[in-house]
Amino acid sequence: MRLIILGPPGAGKGTQAERLAAERGIPHISTGDIFRSNIKNETPLGLQVKGILDSGGYVPDEVTDQIVADRLAQPDAQQGFLLDGYPRTMPQVQALDALMEQQGQPLDAVLKLTVVEGELVQRLLERARTSGRTDDTEEVIRERQAIYERETAPLAAYYAERGRLVEIDGMGSVDEVAGRIGAVLDGLGR
Ligand code: B4P
């Protein structure tokens, strides 16, 4: 199963992805987690991207594409994967398409979580109280949302045209949303 989980900051991508990947036995590949772990370990990549994450901007496509290509080349990703937070721009979509074509492995579905804006901000501010994430301040959250609308929201139409997009109501409890995702995947015969 080759899946993407898409949605604005705070939609529950990371939360659902972690759970879904464990349930289905596929690796959860989160570009946000990869960047944060590099920042924590002060690697050259971490030093390069720290300021970008702190301000809510996007890491350059070439950097992100290479990281994902390397990760998808690892043995555990050969039978399937769940990409969380990637692709986020049209050039990233094209890079991933090229990679999938090379491997002869099409994507099964792109799951898009929809959540009303007020709830998104609420969730992220709630997380800010415990996460220590430097990008969970109200100002940076607004910036991340604006960049999402400009750069990432158009990806949904691209995948819809290719018959891959499945929209999922991301409102309600984590269990409720997980139940909806499970039902969709079961419906796809997965
Ligand atoms: P991400 O780590 O992807 O950050 P995110 O959009 O906030 O999603 P996340 O998965 O963490 O939050 P979620 O919605 O699950 O990216 C961080 C940064 O990395 C980006 O801003 C960018 O700088 C960089 N980056 C990453 N990928 C990139 C790429 N491809 N290209 C360029 N740059 C890239 O959850 C939010 C909160 O809601 C959590 O606290 C959770 O507990 C809560 N929550 C979830 N579901 C809930 C529910 N049903 N009810 C109540 N609360 C819920």
What CATH number is attached to the domain comprising 121? Answer: 3.40.50.300
- pLDDT tens digits, one per residue of 88-134: 999 999 999 999 999 888 999 999 999 999 999 999 999 999 888 88
- Report the half-sphere exposure of 7 (CA within 13 A, side-chain side): 25
Number of neighbours of residue 132 by Cβ within 10 angstroms: 8
From the candidates 2, 13, 19, 112, which is the catalytic residue?
13
Tell whether 15 is covered by a domain: yes
Tell whether 190 is covered by a domain: no
**Secondary structure letter of residue 110 according to DSSP:** E
Tell whether 78 is covered by a domain: yes
The ipTM of this complex is: 0.87
Tell whether 109 is covered by a domain: yes
Domains in the chain, number: 1
Q: Whose CA is nearest to atom 18 of ligand 1?
A: 32
- pLDDT tens digits, one per residue of 6-30: 999 999 999 999 999 999 999 999 9
pLDDT of residue 104: 87
Question: What is the residue range of 74's domain?
Answer: 2-185
Residue 12 Cβ inside 6 Å of ligand 1? The answer reads: yes
Q: Please give the C-alpha separations between residue 80 and each of 16, 77, 108, 140, 182, in angstroms, as whole numbers.
A: 17, 5, 10, 33, 16
Q: Whose CA is nearest to atom 10 of ligand 1?
A: 14
